[in-house]
Amino acid sequence: MTYKDAGVDIRAADAIAENIGRLAKTTYGPEVMGGVGGFAGMFSMGGEVRMFRGQYTDPVLVACTDGVGTKLKLAFAMDKHDTVGIDLVAMSVNDLVVQGAEPLFFLDYIAVARKDPATIEAIMKGIVEGCHQSRCALLGGETAELPDMYRPGEYDLAGFCVGVAERHKVITGDKVIPGDVLIGIRSSGLHSNGYSLARKALLDRGQMDLKAHVPELGCTLGEELLRPTIIYAHAVREVLNHYKVKEIVKALANITGSGMPGNIPRTIPNGLVVRVKKGSWPIPPIFSLIQKVGDVEEAEMFDTFNMGVGMTLVCPEFNANAIRQTLRTVGCESDVIGRIEAGKDPKAEAEVKIE
Q: Mean pLDDT of successive 10-residue segments in the chain (355 residues)?
A: 69 74 89 82 74 77 97 98 99 98 97 93 97 97 92 96 94 97 99 98 98 97 99 97 87 98 97 98 98 98 99 98 98 98 95 97
* Confidence at residue 271, expressed as pLDDT on a 0 to 100 scale: 98
Q: Where are the alpha helices (DSSP H) in the chain?
A: 10-24, 51-55, 71-78, 84-97, 117-134, 195-199, 221-225, 233-242, 259-263, 285-294, 298-304, 320-329
* Confidence at residue 324, expressed as pLDDT on a 0 to 100 scale: 98
* Confidence at residue 71, expressed as pLDDT on a 0 to 100 scale: 98
Smallest CA-to-CA distance from 46 within 35, 36, 37, 59 is with 59
* Confidence at residue 18, expressed as pLDDT on a 0 to 100 scale: 78
Report the C-alpha gap between 304 and 255 in whole angstroms.
Answer: 10
* Confidence at residue 22, expressed as pLDDT on a 0 to 100 scale: 87
Instruction: Indicate the class that CATH gives domain 181-354.
Output: alpha beta
The domain locations on the chain are 10-169, 181-354
Cα–Cα distances in angstroms (integers) from residue 354 to residues 5, 180, 235, 272, 307, in the given order:
57, 16, 25, 14, 12
Q: The pTM is what?
A: 0.94
- Supply φ then ψ for residue 312, to 5 degrees: -120, 155
Is the domain covering 10-169 a CATH 3.40.30.10 domain?
no
The answer to whether 136 and 105 are in contact (CB under 8 A) is yes
Q: Which contiguous run of DSSP H or E holds residue 166?
A: strand 155-166
* Confidence at residue 8, expressed as pLDDT on a 0 to 100 scale: 67
